[in-house]
Amino acid sequence: MKYTQLGRTGLKVSRLVLGTMNFGPQTDETDSHAIMDAALGAGINFLDTANVYGWGVNKGRTEEIIGSWFAKGGGRRDQVVLATKVYGNMAADGDAWPNHDKLSALNIRRAVDASLKRLGTDHIDLYQFHHIDRSTPFEEIWQAIDVLVQQGKILYAGSSNFPGYKIAQANETAARRGGALGLVSEQCLYNLAERRAEMEVIPAAQDYGLGVIPWSPLHGGLLGGVIRKQAEGGRRASGRAADALADPKTRARIQAYEDLLDKHGVEPGEAALAWLLTRPGVTGPIVGPRTTEQLESALRAVELELGEELLAGLDEVFPGPGPAPEAFAW
């Protein structure tokens, strides 16, 4: 496994991030533990989750599965850089009481303690804001984070799904407060088929020293060889991928993508991950395997070298928007 530093921090993390969103809803506890063991054995030390994972009546379940894995011992917790998120509503279904979501100081305090309990640990390495909160000023957010850092409950703060201007607002506010480290990472939607983050989010992250952690690197399976798998009688596209393939232009683009990679003898899913690892500012994409076989495929992407001809071909199939303001102005 290869490692890099998370943004401007001294924290060293693997170039693949193990996403856990499937743990609970699609992958049971036993298989989830097996995937985490395999990932750790392969050198992946960066584990990402969120308090709402498990979803619906089972929200929080994913953190519990990770907590039971830590409880097995063997140095599991000490070897992992643990990231989770706060924002989603954690109130019981049907509970109409306010202050169970978003980024008020009250909810941040409540949410971090609940996550620590589910995870069975005394600290979270990277505590991420899952979405912007338009109602809470960053002064309040950073006051809450400062207290958690002083208490030893968290080490670093990161963002997720933030626009570029909010990354700037957050870190300028932290700088004015003095002594605060501010955001050290941004977790955003970024892949070959969805490159809008290149306009402002990634440049802002680079200017402020945030590591970029792309989620949905295969764009819901669309970049994983979906047309070929379908033709070979494998798993059919579903959800967002199926909706996208219903559009003739999108289907033609994905077919061109798969044809290009077939010409170069490269697996589509591995190429999509390897491409992200070539992008400026990217720390590592989040992979969310449902099985150990899917994890093994992701691991091969770390060692995959994409030649200049192939990279140019990928840019032709999926041209990026370019940086702002040139992307929409002269």
Instruction: Give me the pLDDT at residue 234, please.
Output: 67
Catalytic residue list contains 53: yes
* Residues 6+ away with beta carbon under 8 Å from 294: 287
Per the residue annotation, which of 53, 87, 127, 156 is the catalytic one?
53
- In this predicted structure, the answer to whether residue 30 has a pLDDT above a threshold of 80 is yes
Instruction: Give me the pLDDT at residue 241, please.
Output: 80
- In this predicted structure, the answer to whether residue 199 has a pLDDT above a threshold of 80 is yes
* Average confidence (pLDDT) over 35-56: 98
Instruction: Tokens for 71, please give them.
Output: 């409880």
Query: For residue 202, what pLDDT band results from cuts at 50, 70 and 90?
Result: very high
Instruction: Give me the pLDDT at residue 95, please.
Output: 79
- In this predicted structure, the answer to whether residue 169 has a pLDDT above a threshold of 70 is yes
The residue to which tokens 């030390």 are assigned: 45
Query: For residue 165, what pLDDT band results from cuts at 50, 70 and 90?
Result: very high
Q: Among candidates 71, 83, 116, which has minimal Cα distance to 14?
A: 83
- CATH code: domain 3-220+268-306 is 3.20.20.100
* Residues 6+ away with beta carbon under 8 Å from 316: none
Average pLDDT, the chain: 96
* Residues 6+ away with beta carbon under 8 Å from 38: 292, 295, 296
Query: How is the chain split into domains, by residue range?
Result: 3-220+268-306
Residue 228's Cβ-count burial label (10 Å; 0-12, 13-18, 19+) is middle
Instruction: Give me the pLDDT at residue 145, please.
Output: 98
- In this predicted structure, the answer to whether residue 174 has a pLDDT above a threshold of 70 is yes
CA distance 156 to 158: 7
Instruction: Give me the pLDDT at residue 97, please.
Output: 83
Query: Which tops the pLDDT comparison, 94 or 55?
Result: 55
Query: How much is the pTM?
Result: 0.96
* Average confidence (pLDDT) over 282-298: 95
- In this predicted structure, the answer to whether residue 7 has a pLDDT above a threshold of 80 is yes
pLDDT in tens, 95-117: 778 899 999 999 999 999 999 99
Instruction: Give me the pLDDT at residue 297, please.
Output: 93
pLDDT in tens, 227-275: 998 888 766 666 778 888 989 999 999 999 999 999 999 999 999 999 9
Residues forming beta bridges with residue 269, ordered by sequence position: none
